[in-house]
Structure 1
């Protein structure tokens, strides 16, 4: 057989619950990302750099930190790991070498990620997913018990790095510590320069800044956090797929308990960490050594709880208008992810409307709701006429070296 004979997954081969979860996670990610688009970078972890929070902004910051940060990204990583296994197994079952197609698929994703990271937004996740996707696939044949053990070990490694960062700053001289904390607590002139850059700077000026940030994210943050955490969570996704959890094959009681325990435990840790950080007024040493550790550890539990809750809603066949929207967004996750970046760039950067740092956190929520509404409606409408999103089509075309059918074909519905 040649690669031209291999075809993308048909609609009737898709697992509906996976698409619903993917759409839910993608929309949730915008709650986190819009703060990095619309506000100075340091304010994401240290909101005090923008002055005292209003009551409404404090509530929004608390909500996003406790219930959102790391949670939606973790769900997305779980689903990505499950998707790797599904992709390879389906091709292997049809007589193809699934690994060969997967490698090609990840290499194209890496290119898309680099273009996204350097030309549109520094907060790209595609580069990390592409690299980790090439690592995780090598571990897919491990027994599920070993995958769970490896997931736990890999997931805990970044916590050690966080502690070491805090300890190293603590041991520095005051001058060195001040320099090391500049990104966390920038001086007023640096903060003003960042705001001016995104409001009135040229595309090239922003590109240069974006390139500098990417060096930090794609090297430092990758080896400190993403490599370990994302690999471990992808392995967990494979286990959950193998055991029917992500495919909604467990009982309603199973998902109810998963939701209650997961969200309960995760929220307890995240809430505790948030209040510790606030009490120390976002002091950077405490943030790394202790404060952030709570949210990081608890986020895995919350993510599993959210998965349980969404699948339970799907099984009970309630809020069907919402699950239908999630499913549509999830089937076009690649397109919708890139569109979120394009829309936010237009809103906040100088080559668009230049609204950077002009909105409070609660006002950013209005933009989130508007973008959610647009993506839910547009995805449903698009999929009435087309089988997949435009970027999904391009990615599959490059992966299979054959043009997938884009127009809706009644026979395959």
Structure 2
């Protein structure tokens, strides 16, 4: 067993504050999208146009255009960048970085599996852990080689997800009314189970009806998310975040090119989704997935550039700095979002499942996130890490980590 004596987690003073702020922002965007899934079997609605016309449809399009996939991409990019920082730092201190990171990923795998089975099938931690093991094989590649792998995984992700979308298109076009009837029955079943089921009945329902599809979907989700992991590793290799002041011209160039490209793809998404532009009924799901995936790549890049430019301004830094604490406690806050929402919506809690509109869901998202910003800043006045960050570090380094801040 490797000697990791003297190897410790990153201390608060060693952290890159801009990355914590970006993580904090990503958590808000992720909750905005996840809120719809927490409160209703929205998976069966599939497209914004399926929502009732008016306010509901307006919010459905707003979330789809600005949020869906974009903040998941940002969070995934930061995971890849965090991997590079972890490996570089551990190697520099003479530790077996690979072994440490495998231990870290194993803990994350169990966190994710517990989250997935016990609380919510929309978990991302399990997928991240599996992708993280794959990422270990890319650490020593030079930046130029990583660029080719990023392009390759974009192609793989499009290919596999297009195949999944094709099956969806076949169901929608060939089954017709039968497909719609089955979907309606599944929605009705989910509404009954989630509003009336006990804690253990919901676990049983999740294991039987949801978890198998999550595992099948890993074949599509891992290549898509791995693209962002590699992009984060690539950014780390280029040391972009070492001196951000010098990167301002690059950030402006990214913003100027990526923002219009991303919004152009989302305009095309809306045109295809509303069938103003026809991609063919069978291939419509494929075009929609490709357009949203492409837009997510461009828009997360432009969001990142915009935030980093804003942080070089005194007013921007003052406005965004409180979000750093939320990002420092990203794991605790991500899982706290689930705990809050399942107890709000599930039958063993407040039982609001299926009763909250999208607009009210947006207000709930803002309220929950503001509370998380507040409690994160208060917590980190007294503790070095969030509660789950402390547990994760303790498992990773094989010894109890001091958590209290000693005056």
Do they superpose with TM above 0.5? Answer: yes
Q: 1:83 Cα deviation (Å)? A: 0.8
SS at match of 2:246: coil
Give the conservation status (yes or no) of the 8 Å contact 2:166–2:283. Answer: no
Segments of 5+ residues of structure 1 without an aligned counterpart are none
Matches within 5 A, 1:159-174: 159-168=158-167
- State the 1:44 CA deviation: 5.2
Partner of 1:336: 333
Equivalent residues of 1:48, 1:282 under 8 A apart: no
Specify whether residues 206 and 282 from structure 1 end up closer, same or farther in structure 2 by C-alpha distance, changes over 3 A only.
farther
How far is 1:193 from its partner?
A: 2.1
Q: Which residue of 2 aligns with 1:256?
A: 252
Change (3 A) 1:249 1:100: farther
Matches within 5 A, 1:14-413: 14-43=15-44, 45-47=46-48, 52-54=52-54, 56-168=55-167, 181=179, 186-211=182-207, 212-217=209-214, 219-224=215-220, 226-247=221-242, 248-279=244-275, 285-409=282-406
Task: Give the 3 Å change call, closer, same or farther, for CA 142–44 of structure 1 in structure 2.
Answer: farther
Displacement of 1:232 after TM fit?
2.1
Contact 2:279–2:287 (CA under 8 A) maintained in structure 1: no
Q: Is the 8 A contact 2:113 2:126 kept in 1?
A: yes
Describe the shift of the 1:374–1:133 C-alpha distance in structure 2 as closer, same or farther (beyond 3 A).
Answer: same
> How many Å separate the matches in 2 of 1:33 and 1:242?
32
> Residue 283 of structure 1: CA displacement?
9.2
d(CA) in 2 for partners of 1:71 and 1:87? 24
C-alpha distance in 2 between matches for 1:268 and 1:66: 11
Specify whether residues 160 and 372 from structure 1 end up closer, same or farther in structure 2 by C-alpha distance, changes over 3 A only.
same
**Contact 1:38–1:356 (8 Å) recurs in 2:** yes
CA distance in 1 between counterparts of 2:84 and 2:112 reads: 21
The answer to which of 289-298 and 335-344 deviates more is 289-298
Of residues 310-319 and 66-75 in structure 1, the stretch that sits farther from structure 2 once superposed is 310-319
1:173 CA drift (Å): 11
Distance 1:407 1:208, change over 3 A: same
Residues 338-388 of structure 1 deviation map (CA, whole Å, 9 limit, x = unaligned): 000000101110111010111111110010010111011111111111111
The 1:277–1:406 alpha-carbon spacing in structure 2 relative to 1, beyond 3 Å, is same
Whole-Å separation in 2 of the counterparts to 1:337 and 1:195: 24
Q: Partners of 2:289 and 2:302 in 1: how far apart? A: 20
**Structure 2: distance between partners of 1:173 and 1:308:** 39
Q: Structure 1 stretch 149-158 or stretch 318-327: which is displaced more?
A: 318-327
Tell me, in whole angstroms, the C-alpha distance in 1 between the residues paired with 2:173 and 2:154.
Answer: 32
Residues 1:375 and 1:283: Cα distance change in structure 2 (over 3 Å): farther
User: Partners in 2 of 1:189 and 1:99 — Cα distance?
Assistant: 48
CA contact (8 A) 2:143 2:238 kept: no
Contact 1:262 1:306 in 2 (8 A): no
Please say if residues 49 and 57 of structure 2, whose CA atoms lie closer than 8 Å, have aligned partners that are also in contact.
no
- CA shift, 1:264, in A, is 1.6
Sort the Cα spacing of 1:254 and 1:117 in 2 relative to 1 into closer, same or farther, 3 A.
same
Change (3 A) 1:169 1:319: closer
Distance change >3 Å, CA 165–CA 14, structure 1 → 2: closer
Q: Structure 1: how far apart are the matches of 2:139 and 2:176?
A: 43
Q: What's the offset of the Cα at 1:334?
A: 0.5
Structure 1 195/146 Cα, relative in aligned 2: closer, same or farther at 3 Å? same
Q: Over the residues paired in the alignment, what is the CA RMSD in angstroms? A: 2.3
For structure 2, the 5+ residue unaligned runs are none
